[in-house]
Structure 1
Amino acid sequence: MAICAETCPQCGGAIASGYGNQATCQYCGSSLVRLSPPPGRGPAGADPMEAHDPAAAAAGAWGVRMKRAACMDPKSGLIAFQSLIPADWEFTGDIWWRDSATMPAIPVFRAWNPNGSEQIEWLPTIPNMWSKNILTEALGKWRIKAFAFKQDGIEQRAPLTAIETLRSLVIPRYRGQVEGQEQTRRSPWSGRGNLLAGLIGQETFEQRVQTLRRFLPGLDSAKKLLAKATAPRYKPYDVAVRVVAEEPLPKLAEALRGGLEVGGPMTSDGARIRIAYTLDGKPLEEDLFCVVSQVVTRTGSRLSAQENIFWTAEALYAFRASAGHLDAVGQACMASVKSLQVNPQWLQACQAESRRIMNERAMMARAMAQMAASQRQALQRLGDVSKSISETGDMIMDGYMARSAAYDRMGDMASEAIRGVDSYIDPTCDFSPQLPGGYDNAWGNGLGEYIVSNDHLFDPNQHSNMNWQQLQRRF
């Protein structure tokens, strides 16, 4: 009987002889476990499949060994999400809570091979917002496509495609500067050669700074505190990055959702970009994935018409390996990413935190309204000015509530897509059941029992003495 070389079922790489019942693939870093004796070494005729097809026996000799990794959220006391990773890898996850009603929490995680360069990373989501109106259209003629200030913790930036987002936003923020790409524009008031130094001269500028330091001894301490407060939570590698390849992936969002289509006004654009860099003296390659989801709302009319675009750079997954081994690692990394599940109870905690933030802001708005009411008698002499201020405040609040409602719907639909379920309306109770996704029809009998089917001719009432009612989808 011929002896066939054993191969990794994940990447097809050869497994060196001499291993016992467990091994680690030297090409993709997968943890492997033996499922059957080595081909050609068992008793003669013990495995009929091996006797007729040695190649099939060799391929089935090993299986991929995975383990469950979960991220615990200390604030809510719940498991936020969990995923499957190679059994020999290590895992760390975190939840970034923010004072933002739109996106109060941002999850991140990293799984890596402690004995190699392989790594899977979920980079922080980047939420953005842009308002298209007369002002921003005019500023766009001077190529002003972003603002430094944030609204509700959301960055103000014009929409980008997935490839543009990876090149100009994700890579500089989380990895380093792309070779040949223009350096990120710094503030004209910071560092050597700033605007003020250019106006009065570098030497005079430095003399003025030294004078200020003598009269304000706490200036350096305040500067350090300000730098610490404004420092990003994620520290980039700060390495020179070379783009190796890039490709649009329009079906990436659908693939990560398990093939389920999410309804509503959300549109998605996906892309992958491969980069190469050297870190700690080791040449590495990395695939960065990105899905840009976009929701558009419109308010006003004519000259006051405004288009509010909420777009998010999400699904920022990064697969890393040593140079030349990334293709072998990619399949294992994508399998781990697709196994990621977000805890529905944790999503409810996020929604509760969002409502708490909105209630606090509403209370503040009411307090401001009461203060304004107490001074209304004095403001009446200003006539139409007071009325204009009130109408402007109402318009801003209506637009904010409309955007928040759109974001809530987007979060619910994205949560269902991730978990592979569909929400239905049960007329017999106040409970909104979430049934397995992918089915066209669902029925309930009012007793907490449900049936799902893709057969449009199927009617459970024909084979049961119970009263089955067809349910309508929530979205």
Structure 2
Amino acid sequence: MARGTMRRTADGQRTGTGGRARSGRRAAIGLAAALCLGTVDAGAPAAAQSLHVQRVDIIDPNGFEKPLVASTILVPMGWRSAGGVVWNPNTPCGGAGYNFDWQAGAPDGSSGVQILPMRQWMWDSAGYSAMSSCPSARIRRVADFLAALVQEIRPGARILDFRPRPDISKDYEQLNQTTPMPMGEIRSWVEAGEVLIAYGQNGVDMRESVSALVLFSLNRMQGMAGMPGMDFYSGVSFPAFASRAPNGQLDFRMTEMIRKSITPAPEWSARIAEHHRKIAGINAKGAQDRSRIIAQTGEDIRQMQAESWRRQQDSSDRIARETSEAIRGVETYADPNSATGTVELDNTYNQAWRLNDGTYVLTDDASFNPNATFGMDGTQLGVAQ
């Protein structure tokens, strides 16, 4: 497969290779990806231009009366997965009681990806947050959150690079709001970013990318009667995504393909929506107002995710679908064998195939032959109309 390896040279510059863009609208997207990931090695062998992936279910085993598929994700063939949705009714900060904690990796453990649990925190200028059950942290930027997260999951790791990810936060701009209040204002905003880190693991020099989307809130109260004004901050992260490999082997193109393939399952999404509504109703009857706000925020986020997913699946609304696709870097292909009749795959590859065993191949090889490469027949997928 064409690798998008981002490496640091002695002078701190990035070097690497990425993938070729498609024509038309997708060429522009491919160009943007090339600016981040580099350019493809035109001399790479054909086998290195194909990525064979399988669809894996992320399961919620305990949240409802039976296990449900919460999301699906595409990972390389042969990778093993573990984890899923984890429930804990005693989560701090008045949370919704569940979280994501899932990972998949190569059989030898040399490389893999993780979906990291959501996190919540608060901080205020008066010091009241120190007395709360919610973690207290003065984190007001996504870069600060990622720095703290890295030290939590990889103690001692070095941050080599940071970049904003407006492509990730674009779908959540509705959360950027400012509401004037009689004694101040309430403001919320979203930020997304990604870091590249380095650390040692069992004697191996590792590289890992970690990306995250965070919703920040500020309640600013003006001072009065000789009392100073106060700022109350809170933050909640969406499940972060991490991808690791030995130095020189971290494939950024594959990392993005996996991240963008995450698709919420409709039944689980509907059940979680009802769960959020119940929490909001209980809190509205007398629980702490802050818990109610967090529960409602979680439901707002879930509704936007669900609506985004519904728009993506609705091939009749092609303009809306392609706008969403362009933002997220995916293409919708017609796949009669899938449950919905379509499948979303990374749009930086020239071709997409479904093999007879139900797996997929993304490739830049114009002469790709699934039988010659993988020993089985397959069907090249066309773009959904």
Say whether the fold is shared (TM-score over 0.5).
yes
Structure 2 length-normalised TM? 0.58
User: Contact 2:96–2:279 (CA<8 Å) still a contact in 1?
Assistant: no
Larger Rg: 1
What do residues 340-374 of structure 1 show as CA deviations (whole Å, max 9, x unaligned)? 011232233233334445566677x5xxxxxxxxx
Match of 1:165 in 2: 145
- Whether the 8 Å CA contact 1:252–1:271 is kept in 2: the answer is no
Question: Which whole-Å deviations, capped at 9, do the CAs of 1:427-450 have from their partners, x for residues lacking one?
Answer: xxxxxxx9778269xxxxxxxxxx
Measure how far apart 1:63 and its partner are: 2.9
Which stretch shows the higher mean deviation, 76-85 or 113-122? 113-122
Residue 138 (structure 2) pairs with residue 242 (structure 1): no
Q: What is the root-mean-square deviation of aligned Cα atoms in Å?
A: 4.1
Equivalence for 2:311: 421
1:289 matched to 2:207? The reply is: no
**Partner of residue 263, structure 1:** 174
Instruction: Name the CA distance, whole Å, in 2 between partners of 1:159 and 1:62.
Output: 41
Instruction: Quickly say closer, same or farther: Cα 1:276–1:400, change in 2 above 3 A.
Output: closer
Check conservation: 1:162, 1:248, Cα contact below 8 A.
no
Larger relative contact order (CA 8 Å, sep ≥ 6): 2
Q: SS at 2:174's partner residue? A: coil
Q: Percent identity?
A: 18
User: For 1:315-326, what aligned pairs fall within 5 Å after superposition?
Assistant: 315-326=239-250
Note closer, same or farther for the CA distance 1:286–1:357 as it changes in structure 2 (3 Å cut).
same
Distance 2:234 2:317 in 1: 29
Assess, with a 3 A threshold, how the Cα gap between structure 1 residues 288 and 397 changes in structure 2: closer, same or farther: closer
Provide closer, same or farther for how the CA distance between residues 400 and 118 of structure 1 changes in structure 2, counting only shifts above 3 A.
Answer: closer
Matched residue SS, 2:257: helix
Identify, as 1 or 2, the structure richer in helix. 1
The answer to whether residue 236 in structure 2 is matched with residue 312 in structure 1 is yes
> Is this contact kept in 2: 1:420–1:436, CA < 8 A?
no
TM-score, normalised by the number of residues in structure 1: 0.48
Q: Secondary structure at 2:140's aligned position in 1?
A: coil
* Residue 105 of structure 1 pairs with residue 113 of structure 2: no
Q: 1:464 maps to what in 2?
A: none
In structure 1, the residue matched to 2:125 is: 137
Report matched runs for 1:447-458 at 5 Å: none
Q: Mind listing any 5+ residue stretches in structure 1 that lack a counterpart? A: 1-7, 14-26, 29-54, 131-135, 178-240, 366-395, 424-433, 441-475
Q: Kindly provide the CA deviation profile for residues 11-62 of structure 1, in whole angstroms up to 9, marking residues without a partner as x.
A: 289xxxxxxxxxxxxx99xxxxxxxxxxxxxxxxxxxxxxxxxx79964896
**2:73/2:258 contact within 8 Å kept:** yes
The unaligned stretches of length 5 or more in structure 2 are 6-15, 18-41, 178-187, 323-385
Q: Distance in 1 between matches of 2:213 and 2:238?
A: 5
Q: Does 1:68 align with 2:47?
A: no
Is the CA contact (8 Å cut-off) linking 2:96 and 2:295 kept in structure 1?
Answer: no
Q: Distance in 2 between matches of 1:112 and 1:65?
A: 14
Matches within 5 A, 1:424-439: 438=320
Partner of residue 121, structure 1: 114
Distance 1:420 1:11, change over 3 A: farther
Number of positions where the alignment pairs a residue of Structure 1 with one of Structure 2 = 269
Q: Taking structure 1 as reference, are residues 91 and 286 closer, same or farther at Cα in structure 2, changes over 3 Å only?
A: same
The residue identity in structure 2 corresponding to 1:108 is: D
Match of residue 366 from structure 2 = none
TM superposition shift of 1:397: 5.1
| 8 A Cα contact 1:102 1:354, kept in partner | no
Equivalent position of 1:11 in the other structure: 3
